[in-house]
Chain A
Amino acid sequence: MTGLDETDRALLRALVEDGRLSAGALGRRLGLSQPAAWRRIRRLRDAGVLKGSRVELDGPALGFGVTVFLGVKLATKGRASHEDFERAVRAIPEVQLVHHVLGRYDYRLRVVARDLADFERVLRRRIMTLPGAGDIEANVLLSEERRPGPL
């Protein structure tokens, strides 16, 4: 889908900020009727531009104090090793994100753990034992902000 107009952009900005805004509330904010706002939301959903919501929780307050980004290089290359690695890494509950990348590493992972000791357990028992896993680099997350993007 191309050709967002200024109202679409304002609508997306508002929903990224607060995904629970109703069509009525959005309409009031943007000077649209409730049905007009709803039609725009539905169009953006149907086009796949709006792909559902993300819940933002206070991880540390819920006992998840540590987030680590990992770069993983496969020791062995080939289609089979990528498939084995991907199947196994998807089964680890602490792994929130897996991106296949090109560059110094083959995969980048986002891992959440209760504390550093818990992270070490996940790293040793689950990550380092993944099929094909070679060189691993870990960076501990200190702060994070999500930006609205080019809207």
Chain B
Amino acid sequence: MRIDDTDRRILRRLQAAPDLGVNELAELAGVTPATCSRRLDRLERAGILRGLHAQIDWAALGWEVEVSLRFTLDKTDPRAFDDFLEAARAVPEVTEIQTFLGRVDVRLHVIARDMAHYQAIYREKILTLPHIADVEALMQVAVIADDPALPL
């Protein structure tokens, strides 16, 4: 599917304010509401607009600790990635899973209520994951910027 400037303008506005209604979005993007709806439908059918997801602020629910855990896996076992990812999905405190090309093989974003809780999760649910060769933690101190928008 061809993406033109109008599509990009609509997506740019949508990324900036995902919860706007079609009428407001259309006005900001400088198109009619009908055009805006049609374009959004088309982008969605083409799989380019994949969806809208509510974001939970875990800190507001008392989950104060966020840690980025970076793993190197023992890749002598061909099942290492699959086994590790499957086991990581079963840990409820894992909120993101990424795989990489580089020094790090997998990153898990882990949340905990406090440091004692984190220690328990780390020992009981993380260090017991299969095929870990090395693990390193980056403890989150502050979010300086968080804007998932693509620079369209």
Q: How large is the interface on A (under 10, 10 to 19, 20 to 34, 35 or more residues)?
A: 35 or more
- Residue count of chain B within 8 Å CB distance of chain A: 59
A-B CB contacts (within 8 Å), total count: 201
* Interface-central residue, B15, B19, B104, B148, by most chain A CB under 10 Å: B148
Q: A53-B55, A54-B53, A144-B97 are in contact. Are A137 and B140 (CB under 8 A)?
A: no
Do B57 and A48 touch (CB < 8 A)? yes
Q: Given A19-B51, A55-B15, A141 and B136 touching (CB < 8 A)? A: no
Q: In residues 2-58 of chain A, which contact B (Cβ within 8 Å)?
A: 2, 4, 12, 15-20, 47-58
A residues engaging B (CB < 8 A)?
Answer: 1-2, 4, 12, 15-20, 47-59, 61-62, 64, 69, 71, 86, 89-90, 93-105, 107-108, 112, 137-147, 149-151
A-B contact pairs, 14 of them (CB 8 A): A4-B61, A16-B55, A18-B52, A19-B52, A19-B54, A52-B19, A56-B49, A56-B50, A61-B46, A64-B150, A96-B145, A98-B145, A101-B68, A147-B92
